[in-house]
Structure 1
Amino acid sequence: MVRLPDALAKSADTLRLVVRVAALSLRFPRHPDSLWDEFWRGVAAGSLREAVIWEANAGGEMGQHLARLAGLLDTGLPIVDLGCGTGAPSRRLAELFPAVVGADVSPGAVAAATSASAGVPHLKFVVLDATDPEAVAGLAGDLGEANVFIRGVFHVLSPRRQAALARAIDPLLGTHGRIYLVESNVPGGALDYLRGLGATGRAIPAPLRQAIATLPKPGHFGAQQRGRAFPAGHWTVFADGATTLETAPMQDGGSGVTIPAYWAVLGKRHN
């Protein structure tokens, strides 16, 4: 049984953390897409100076993704990295696929990715709202059938936009293309997610403070959420399971944090 002083101390710490998060989150309501572009422009301009917490993805984590991709996707097809950010996953995907298109709703992110990827062959970046069926169909017309890679996009979307994104992807796949997705899936509520990244009532790591203050609230995306976004009548799940996502270091001189995540490979059901 938890001793009362410990329980009180935990409750007090939780209250302090809630107040800190609420203070950081105070801002006028805006469309999520505009938040992303403001964020990436702030990173490029230097007004947002902390590490981007999910950009530490060129090491062991991405190696695991590449191994699954090699076994479960047709690597003779091009691949689209949806929500590419500054292009770190896109550059690793170029090691395996003959052509890679990094796509992001933020022009600021695409500009940063293009600059950081100069000299990488068979890789380009485009501005794209991947929930817009006409925009995605236009890319499909240019590219032909392709695979799709998605890391950490669905969990920040509303259920309505998750379903819209899943529907819009359809024309990219053609007959043989597949989707590889990996999303954070932290058990518990939002405070559990923050505590897993080192937040307490006394202090929140600077990269996490930056994310709370500037970006849409993250959420869960596991098998249940995937089933709603990708209904079984239209989609086949070829493989899925638990994994982890790596973050940038939360403290200067520290190491990154791994958080629980979910991955899946899906394709269109052909009846």
Structure 2
Amino acid sequence: MSASERYARAWEGFWAENTGEPGAPFWDADATLTAAPHTALLAAHADRTLPVVDLGCGNGTQTRYLAGQFPRAVGVDLSASAVAHARRADRDAVAEFEQLDLTDLAGVRRLGEGLGEANVYLRAVLHQSDPPARPPVAAAVALLLGRRGRGFVVEPTAAAKAVLQQVAERPGGPPEKLRQVRRHQLRPAEVAPGELPELLRGAGLEILDQGGTDLAMSEHHPDGTRVTLPAHWFVVAAAAGGRPGG
């Protein structure tokens, strides 16, 4: 079995076991804590009349919020079970959901042809991708943006590992949400300092803005405070004179 097949099976296994209810996955914090502040950062650079694509949408919590901020929102995920959860949770049918492997650039192009130029939201996907898959995922962002779209990319930093270790080593062991992540071998992989800007620029993207933030999780520490992971965010666009998708 190839690494890509193992990766796909791991995610399908996770989402098939998970209820898909809002907040059930470890990272599925309410959109007011995640997509809302991220959209505010993106909005300073984006054409809000364009559609938005949520890459790695999972159960669609963030996609449904994005649907209220853009004229059309499409969430895509590698896992068929994740897409099924997202469609079931979208009771008002405000968004669209499709199964898509982001490393399948022909499939990404087909999605882009149907949408036209679009804005992109990519939250904590690259660090979970195998290193060989990261350049294609970055290329997928560029393909969907075209010339007018803008992308928001946010990933945990290396410092997030210490937070996750603290959660895992709490008295009584890790919470069930983290146990489930580990059962399916969805362990975060460190993205080396400087790797993200290199990946983005290698895909033909220009970094318009960037900064540090904390990614809110749905889990809480024993004292009741929310688990957050140190992260870095980027707003990107097609580089002038570059070829989208690398």
Which TM bucket (shorter chain)?
A: 0.7 to 0.9
1:119 to 77, 88, 92: 92
Gaps of 5+ in 2: 242-246
Q: 2:206 aligns with which of 236, 240, 252?
A: 236
Runs of 4+ residues over 6 Å off in structure 1: none
> Match of 1:59, SS?
helix
90, 101, 116: which is aligned to 1:129? 101
Report the AA paired with residue 15 of structure 2. W
1:253 offset after TM fit, Å?
Answer: 9.5
Structure 2 counterpart of 1:31: 6
Shift in Å at residue 244 of structure 1?
0.6
**Corresponding residue SS for 1:51:** coil
Q: Shift in Å at residue 263 of structure 1?
A: 0.6
3-state SS of the aligned residue for 2:215? strand
Question: Take 1:133 and 1:232, find their aligned partners in 2: how far apart are those partners?
Answer: 15
Identify unmatched segments of 5+ residues in structure 1. Answer: 1-28
Kindly indicate whether the alpha-carbon contact (under 8 Å) linking 1:177 and 1:267 is maintained by their aligned counterparts in 2: yes
- Paired with 1:223 and 1:268, the residues of 2 have a C-alpha distance of 22
Greater displacement, 161-170 / 100-109: 161-170
- Residue 182 of structure 1 corresponds to which residue in structure 2? 154
Whether the 8 Å contact between 2:167 and 2:221 is mirrored in structure 1 is: no
| Amino acid aligned to 1:137 | R
Tell me how far 1:159 sits from its aligned partner: 2.2
Q: TM-score, normalised by structure 1?
A: 0.79
In 2: Cα distance, 1:45 partner to 1:56 partner: 12
Q: Name the larger-Rg structure.
A: 1
Supply the distance in 2 between the matched residues of 1:135 and 1:201 (Cα, whole angstroms): 45
Partner of 2:127: 155
**Contact 1:183/1:222, CA 8 A, preserved across alignment:** no
Aligned equivalent of 1:60: 33
When the two structures are superposed, what TM-score results if normalisation uses the length of structure 2? Answer: 0.87
Map of 1:197 onto structure 2 = 167
1:233 and 1:250, CA in 2 relative to 1: closer, same or farther beyond 3 A? Answer: closer
Q: Does 1:142 align with 2:114?
A: yes
In the aligned structure 1, how far is the partner of 2:63 from the partner of 2:223? 27
RMSD: 2.5
Check whether the contact 1:205–1:251 (CA below 8 A) recurs between aligned residues: no
- Equivalent residues, number: 237
Which residue in the other structure is 2:237 paired with? 267
> Which digits, 9 at most, give the CA deviation of each residue in 1:124-156, with x for residues without a partner?
000000111100011011111111101110011
Q: Which amino acid aligns with 1:133?
A: L
Separation (CA, whole Å) in 1 of partners of 2:165 and 2:177:
14
Quick one: distance in 2 between partners of 1:168 and 1:129?
10
Contact 1:244 1:258 in 2 (8 A): yes
Provide Cα deviations, 1:188-209, integer angstroms capped at 9, x if missing partner.
7x4x242343524862222212
**SS where residue 249 of structure 1 aligns?**
strand
Q: 1:85 to 1:233 in 2, by over 3 A?
A: closer
1:88 to 50, 55, 61: 61
Distance 1:163 1:233, change over 3 A: closer
Q: Deviation per CA, 1:17-75, whole angstroms, max 9, x where unpaired?
A: xxxxxxxxxxxx861111111111111499xxx93110013233332112112212111
Distance verdict in 2 for CA 1:233–1:118, change over 3 Å:
closer
SS of the equivalent of 1:248 reads strand
Describe the superposition over 1:187-236 as per-residue Cα deviations: whole angstroms up to 9, x where unpaired: 27x4x242343524862222212211113220234761212312268221
